[in-house]
Structure 1
Amino acid sequence: MEVPRRAALLLTALAVLAATVRSQDGCACEKNKRTLNCVKYGDTCQCKSYGTNITVDCSTLTSKCLLMKAEMYARSGRRYERPVNAYIDNDGIYNPECDRDGNFKAKQCNGTSTCWCVNSAGVRRTEKGDENLRCSEVVRTSWIIMEMKHPERDAPFSKDMMEREIRNAFFLRYRLKPDHVFVTYENPAIIIDLKQNASEKSGSDVDIADVAYYFEKDVKEDPLITTDRLGINVGGEPLQLKDAVIYYVDEKAPEFSMKHLTAGVIAVIVVVVLAIVVGILVLFFTRRKRGKYEKAEVKELNEIPRERNA
């Protein structure tokens, strides 16, 4: 009895192994081209992300942290009216630290003892410091503003039609629900707002930070989705997008000081301040000189009657 049972278990294990091997044939990660070691489980393809050993679900978007990690891994030569607190990602891509779920860790460092704190989109929100810098939490990015434009044309697109097609494209391609997408259009400028606070995101929802990253890659014609490319048609005409600039608004204001300003911005501020100071000094001395002249004029007029009396 024991031998047949062991034989049955062995046959079952071999069948499972054969099914696993067969499932690897033709299994590719549709939502992320920077993956390897893909295995199909039922109707789902699961793969390992480049540069980590984290498994990603290819039926949905991969987290931005893992995507950035994979891109840095690939670059290393291996295989594989805007809100006041809105700010741009001035640091670009770096080699991030991701937690076990593939999300950004609150503290990021560049390997040379320089560290900073990031938001949930992986964008630096503090000044840079040393390894003793403390980042207590990953502040959520609840609003992402994406500004871009389309090529010049004789007549603008229909605003209602453009909004509908963009929201529909974000749902079909990235699976982001339309109630998180808001479109403003003023020919040729297009502003796409993605809004999603923590209470609005369930466990199965995609994150707006990941969506924005996928969209940015699509606009730059470096798509991460392998099966097709972003295609938005407005009134039967393809919508071409360019010059995308992305701003991030966190649930807490960023912690930047004057050090964060670029040299050009600081120079402009200095020039403006100097111009104001010079203007005040010129006004002061002009009034002072005019006052002396008026006093002298009054004095001369007073001397005229005295001369007549003499």
Structure 2
Amino acid sequence: MKPLCGAALLLLLVLCAAATAQNPCVCEKNKRVTNCREDNGRCRCDAIGSGVSVDCTTLTSKCLLMKAEVTGSKSGRREKPKDAFEDTDGLYDPECENSGAFKAKQCNGTTCWCVNTAGVRRTDKHDADLKCNQLVRTMWIIIEMKHAERSAPLNAESLKKFFTDTITSRYQLNSRYITSVLYENPYITIDLKQNSSDKSVGDVDIADVAYYFEKDVKGQSIFHNNAGINISIDNEPVKLEKTVVYYVDEIAPEFSMKSLTPGLIAVIVVVVIAIVAAIVVLVLTRRRKGKYEKAEMKEMNEMHRGLNA
């Protein structure tokens, strides 16, 4: 009987192993993964493009997500802070630390630049000799959305509750990092703030939250089920026309005039020319006035001498 029991036990183990291989765990929070497996009750998978093992119970870092995306696709509103800047470079193939964080220096061939913790360029582009001494933290992210034209404005309190609940539940961000949800028809602005000293161990990063959120509202969800956000305020669907993300770092960015857009440079040039022209006109006017006053004084003196004679 013992050999028979042993054979049955071996067969059972083989069947269990086969069932596990056929039904690997699913990474609900990241579809850009492979080689998923159960590890101490948690689903872990390898991020595409980097091979870094990620925990599927929480958000994957933005750096690993960008790398996976590149690998798979190689084919009237509130005034912004003066140091806030957009990501004008878009998608690139980033260099990531084993932890998933961006390396401070990123390069594309012989062209290099420094990035913040959100992976957004914060310096001009230079050659490979560029030094990026530290990875500067993005402490404030501003997500600005514009909804389509409506017959009536949205309810500000209902809107605030919807986005606060969505961000805390869907992206697991502690509500204390959501400092403001502002509605200025037709603009919706969400402020996420998280200083280095504020972020606790285990807290998701606001840069990762903003990346997931932006992909969701643009219909490019990273979640396994591909379902983005259905924005509905007071049971009424809301259509977004535009979404822009701004970044504010703990240290101001280091952009020079070279990084300004041609349009902005043209405006600056026109303003400078106008100022110079105004100065020239003022100087010439004063000179003419001075000459006139001198000539007038000379004539008066001559007349005075004639009368005395």
| TM-score of Structure 1 vs Structure 2, range by shorter chain | 0.7 to 0.9
Aligned residues: percent identity?
56
Q: Residue in 1 aligned with 2:127?
A: 130
RMSD: 2.6
Counterpart CA distance in 2 for 1:108 and 1:62 is 20
Q: Deviations over 1:228-283 (max 9, x none)?
A: 22123222212322321111111111222222222222222122111101100001
Q: Residue in 2 aligned with 1:177?
A: 174
1:269 partnered with 2:268:
yes
1:72 partnered with 2:70:
yes
Counterpart CA distance in 2 for 1:179 and 1:156 is 27
Corresponding letter in the other structure for 1:172: S
1:159 partnered with 2:156:
yes
Counterpart CA distance in 1 for 2:254 and 2:281 is 38
1:20 partnered with 2:17:
no
Counterpart CA distance in 2 for 1:158 and 1:307 is 88
62-71 or 44-53, which deviates more: 44-53
Q: Deviations over 1:150-192 (max 9, x none)?
A: 1122221122221121111111211112221221211011111
Give the drift of 1:215.
Answer: 1.2
Unaligned runs of at least 5 residues, structure 2 = none
CA contact (8 A) 1:23 1:40 kept: no
Q: Residue in 2 aligned with 1:230?
A: 229
TM-score (norm 2): 0.87
Give the drift of 1:91.
Answer: 1.4
Unaligned runs of at least 5 residues, structure 1 = none
Counterpart CA distance in 2 for 1:245 and 1:95 is 21
Corresponding letter in the other structure for 2:115: V
* Cα distance change of structure 1 residues 226 and 22 upon mapping to structure 2, 3 Å threshold: closer
40-49 or 188-197, which deviates more: 40-49
CA contact (8 A) 2:220 2:228 kept: no
**Matched length:** 301
CA contact (8 A) 2:217 2:228 kept: no
TM-score (norm 1): 0.87
Counterpart CA distance in 2 for 1:198 and 1:275 is 45
SS of structure 2 residue aligned to 1:164? helix
Q: Deviations over 1:124-175 (max 9, x none)?
A: 1122222222222211111111222111222211222211211111112111
